[in-house]
Structure 1
Amino acid sequence: MDISILEKQLKLMSGFEKKYSGTPEQPKRYSHIEEVLTFSKNKETDIVPVDYFFKPEQNVVFLKHPRYIQFTEHRHSFIEMNYVLSGTSKQYINGKEVILKKGDLCLLNTNVIHSIDSASEDDIIINIMIRTSYFDSALLQRLSGNDLLTDFFVNAIYKQKKESQYIIFSDGEGNRLKDLILQALSEYYHPQLCSNEAINSYMLLIFTELLRGYHNTPKKSSERIFRKAVISDILAYMEHNYETITLEKTAEKFHFHPNHLTRLLKSNLGKTFIELSHQLKIKNACTLLENTDLIIDHIANKVGYTNITFFYKSFKKIHGITPAEYRKKKMKAPL
């Protein structure tokens, strides 16, 4: 689709926006979410669930942010990116006013409490929502050239603390970030052959552009940069050898004492070696459940479990359902 046509379409009012555009001086709250969700006054529980935006097979979702509507305080269990295509966007992150201008992108970590003021006719904001599971160790390795983003995604994926992390990137007068986002948006709105692969490629390019454009990255000590680089290498090694890895073998590979490796992973990722190992095995088991007809016991053995009962216990601990229920749920998911 021609990008200029897409930009014109984004400026058109949806039926939902028309409903609220008559009284922009008295912006209404986002009643649609309030109809679907029961938000507690306790901010610790005001979480927009992943399933509200994501279909089971989706890792990345693109939306045009609805105008004329005030979004009340909330937080997500997924990562959110807000890109200002035109106009401005006033947001409140942990009660602090943040003004985003044209070309700015705000990257919000999981659990950040934020609200968004109503947008006017000229304020076109693109929301990009990303599951934390989208960021595997291979992607983290690609981002390891910038300690800022590595820290950000490691916190989002592994630590999952209720921290108030957000980063604002400015595209300035450049248009490359804008073009990449619009190209990805076009693939999302008008899917064609291999559109999912195209979107994944655009996401990598978007993150690459963010890395290149961030000129004010705080300088970290060489020791901290080295530690993050090592963590990325360890995660990549574990990803490639998940079936047979042990703490001792991994420690030997990176010339650490096993106790030191344990402390390193726990302090940087918030998880033990065993927890990460099970996470990788179950992740690959999910891929086999979704894409093969292998019996579940065979899948358990294939990803490195010799104790089938323990495999079922580990799977349910991570996903809340059994492997059979997971496979059935994915088979019912729309193509």
Structure 2
Amino acid sequence: MDIQDVDPFLRSINEFERKHWGQPWLLQHTGDIYVNDKISESFFFKTDQHIAINKHPRFAIIPEHRHEFIEMSYVYSGTLTQTINNNKITLSEGQLIILDTNVAHSIEAAGENDIIINCLMRKSYYDSHLIHRLAGNNVLSEFFVNAVYKSQEHSEYILFPSQSSPRVRSFMTELVREYYSSDICSEEAIGSYLVLLFTELLRLHKDANAGSETDSVKRTVNMADIIHYMESRYQTIDLTSAAKHFHFHPNYLSKIIKDHFGQSFIKVVQDIRVKKASLLLKNTDLNIAEISEHVGYKNIHFFYKNFKERFRMSPAEYRAVHRNH
């Protein structure tokens, strides 16, 4: 897909939209999309896919629902009206909203000129790719830390004043082009455009809210820095050295990590290690003992135990499943 093909693609009426034209209530009766009140991830994501980009379906009422992924919606044309946590919000052309996980929201039927681009991100993507890049940036750091680690306690959204930003429109258009073109290195290009997009959104939000930072946001920035530190030193990190780096008492660092993650410092480190190991199992030919040592385990039996707790299968089974896929 070339860049000039994006606009005709977005404005074309697909089969799903044609089905609901004049019958917006039909979506409420499609059982293959919803599991209880949550949208099934499998409806949007393929196995091991971390990002999905699609055009919001026009002419259909989307009933109240939740989902376990972050949803970013950009109004390419027209308007978008949602009810989020019982608050009705209408976005105009050029505006962008990011919804946290588990946010209850419904969407009114969009008209023919209401073109919305949705970018959906699994937790595994922003957990391993975005958090450390956003360390030190207040607004999105707070939002993504809460989305990943406290999703059951927070139900939030951020609305960005991006209607006058040609850069946001350009980045969103490029994301659509890359996603549907499947050119070489498209995944890498999509990741790069997302980082550029978030950088622009941070700047817009900062300009619109200059001088209004709260102490709670500043505290969360420190938490994002801690996550980054743990992600980058997971192989050898311990509580004492981490506390010394941030000029905290070990007991205090242990407490704030427990408050944010809901588990101890060592359990968080173990979770990081086994997730790094899962990537090595999928993408390298290192044997399991080498992987165990590489991610920081001195005892391979302890590695097997933690890995199975996290993924419900052994390292060898995990590798076989993902290699076959």
TM-score, normalisation: structure 1:
0.89
After TM superposition, give the deviation of residue 162 of structure 1 in Å: 3.9
**Deviation (angstroms), 1:203:** 0.4
- Residue among 30, 46, 71 paired with 1:80: 71
Q: Paired residue for 1:35, among 32, 36, 44?
A: 32
The question of whether the paired residues in 2 share the 8 Å contact of 1:138 and 1:236 is answered with: no
Cα deviation, residue 136, structure 1: 4.0
Question: Do structure 1's residue 113 and structure 2's residue 110 form an aligned pair?
Answer: no
Q: What amino acid maps onto 1:50 in structure 2? A: E
Check if 1:53 corresponds to 2:44: yes
Deviation at 1:33, TM superposition (A): 4.7
Residue in structure 2 matching 1:241, options 233, 236, 240: 233
Give the alignment's Cα RMSD to 1 decimal: 2.2
Structure 1: which amino acid aligns with 2:290? H
3-state SS of the aligned residue for 2:293? helix
Instruction: Assess if the C-alpha contact under 8 Å between 1:74 and 1:114 holds in 2.
Output: yes
By how many angstroms is 1:295 displaced?
2.5
- Alpha-carbon distance between aligned partners in 2 of 1:83 and 1:11, rounded to the nearest angstrom: 14
Pick one of 76, 93, 99 that aligns with 1:102: 93
1:32: how far off? Answer: 7.6
8 Å CA contact 1:91–1:97 kept in 2: the answer is: yes
**Counterpart for residue 89 of structure 1:** 80
Contact 1:27/1:118 (CA < 8 Å) preserved in 2? yes
**Cα distance between partner residues in 1 of 2:203 and 2:141:** 14
- Separation in 2, partners of 1:96, 1:304: 47
Gaps of at least 5 residues in structure 1 are: 40-45
| Structure-1 separation of matches of 2:283 and 2:309 | 22
For residues 277-334 of structure 1, give each alpha carbon's deviation from its aligned partner in whole angstroms, at most 9, with x where no partner exists: 012101110111011122223322221223333323322332333323322232233x
Between 1:224-233 and 1:72-81, the stretch displaced more is 224-233
User: How do residues 181-330 of structure 1 correspond to structure 2 at under 5 angstroms?
Assistant: 181-214=172-205, 215-217=207-209, 219-221=212-214, 224=216, 227-330=219-322
- Corresponding residue for residue 42 of structure 1: none
2-side partners of 1:197 and 1:3: how far apart?
A: 18
Equivalent residue, structure 2, for 1:9:
9
Between 64-73 and 208-217, report the one with greater CA deviation: 208-217
The verdict on how the C-alpha distance between 1:105 and 1:137 changes in structure 2, with shifts beyond 3 A counting, is: same
CA contact under 8 A between 1:74 and 1:115: conserved in structure 2? yes
Report SS of the residue matched to 1:255.
Answer: coil
**CA deviation string 1:143-182 (max 9, x = no partner):** 2444221111010112222422001112123321011011
How far apart are the structure 2 equivalents of 1:106 and 1:29?
26
**Runs of 4+ in structure 1 displaced over 6 angstroms?**
none
Alpha-carbon distance between aligned partners in 1 of 2:218 and 2:204, rounded to the nearest angstrom: 22
Listed as ranges, the matches of 1:129-208 within 5 Å are 129-136=120-127, 139-208=130-199
Unaligned runs of 5+ in 2: none
CA gap of 1:91–1:239, structure 2 versus 1, over 3 A, is same
* TM-score normalised according to structure 2 size: 0.91
The 3-state SS of whatever aligns with 1:76 is: coil
Instruction: Name the % identity.
Output: 43
Q: Which stretch shows the higher mean deviation, 311-320 or 107-116? A: 311-320
Does the residue aligned with 1:107 lie in a helix, a strand or coil?
strand
**Paired AA for residue 10 in structure 1:** L
> Structure 2 counterpart of 1:125, which letter?
I
Q: Is the 8 A contact 2:134 2:224 kept in 1?
A: no
Residues 220 and 38 (structure 1), Cα distance of their counterparts in 2 relative to 1, 3 Å cut: closer
